[in-house]
Structure 1
């Protein structure tokens, strides 16, 4: 099985979750790609597409919310560490370019701890967009939690690995590709 994980990450939490999901997908061949590098990726050879991003203002990020996150990271009073790819396009824009997907898919997000009514969740919209693009969504949209200090809640990395394993098990039918022995990044 060949899996592609496309993710958007501002402060590194969503990237850490994407990497953990990739470990859980092993021994599948796994490629991780930030959204702003995903435009040219050939999806025709992908058996499982996993897409994730941070929750901003109750849903997927927008250019204005990404700029707000960048601004927050560069103020002197914050200790946030901005990802190198943070200034690029996000999951919302990448998903809008998709159509005719012929693969299985799953969606995840990172969001603050708290009731969904208060925090929102990007994964639900990501999942709807994957369905609209023709993907066979094989799992419920899943959130991984971030604390008020903008760090992953303890146990979330292990939970992401387990979620990746579950996705691999649900994706078992279909063409298999040889495992390359490593998780690669684009």
Structure 2
């Protein structure tokens, strides 16, 4: 799915571009995945688990672009990739066509500036246009800032997944399953 590029102004007054990821973004996206995975315990993997090659990342981006129901939206400040938000089908089966998954992350230094909210609003709008009726996400229960944003945007906690993520040092985190009717 293609998203028509648009500009927003964040809380600090900086201009941010939102657009679909392009194959030429593959190197920046791979750096982003490794860096954000090292900045927070709230993502699904550790930096050393990001093992995609640039070619694999390009292929992933091109599949999103060719899809009529999936989107990889990126945010840029002065041409620098600073975050992204994904819209994903839960399944290709008809019984699940009404459901989509959402995932979002920003470099730590860009959190709290309203960029994540703008990306989520854009992706949820595209989800509605694509015919989805319900958006779902998973969030680590200790990620209070993200949970607050999701709740403010109409997501509701519908379940807790105990010990959802386990770290190398043995610590475990619960996660919430949250959903919003579109």
- What is the TM-score when the length of structure 1 is the normalising length? 0.31
- What is the TM-score when the length of structure 2 is the normalising length? 0.32
The higher relative CO (CA closer than 8 Å, separation ≥ 6) is in: 1
Bigger strand fraction: 2
